């Protein structure tokens, strides 16, 4: 996927990881995304895990490319193991940032 800008909007169908990363930086989700990717979000205090879950549900962040087992022995799936567009998937994140971009211009 590639990203094209038309006027002030980004075409949702061609948004890519680079654009999402830039928007995560802009909206303050970079560190939380890194914690989710590394599994640290689930090892920190409860409020961090709850914030991570909320960001996965909204689409601000996505699950990592590879699954892992958390501190409590629970499997955290990769974003590719889930139904397309559901919580934690790349498609959910594309939708989230496309909508932000659409309404911010």
The DSSP result for 68-94, as a single string, is EE-TTS-EE--GGGSPTTSTTSHHHHH
E runs forming strands in the chain = 5-6, 9-10, 68-69, 75-76
Structural domain count of the chain:
1
Question: 72-98 pLDDT, tens per residue?
Answer: 899 999 999 999 999 999 999 999 999
Give the domain extent around 63. Answer: 5-104
Query: Mean pLDDT for the chain?
Result: 87
Closest CA to 56 of 17, 95, 23: 95
pTM: 0.82
With vertex at residue 96, the alpha carbon angle to CA 67 and CA 60, rounded to the nearest 5 degrees, is 50
Residue with tokens 């980004």, as numbered in its chain: 10
Q: Is the pLDDT of residue 9 over 60?
A: no
């Amino acid at each position: 996927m590639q990203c094209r800008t038309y006027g002030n909007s980004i075409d949702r169908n061609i948004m890519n990881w680079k654009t999402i990363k830039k928007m995560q930086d802009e909206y303050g989700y970079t560190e939380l995304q890194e914690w989710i990717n590394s599994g640290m979000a689930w090892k920190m205090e409860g409020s961090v895990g709850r914030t991570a879950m909320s960001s996965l549900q909204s689409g601000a962040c996505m699950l990592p490319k590879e699954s892992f087992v958390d501190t409590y022995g629970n499997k955290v799936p990769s974003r590719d193991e889930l139904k397309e567009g559901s919580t934690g998937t790349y498609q959910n994140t594309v939708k989230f940032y496309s909508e932000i971009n659409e309404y911010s211009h």
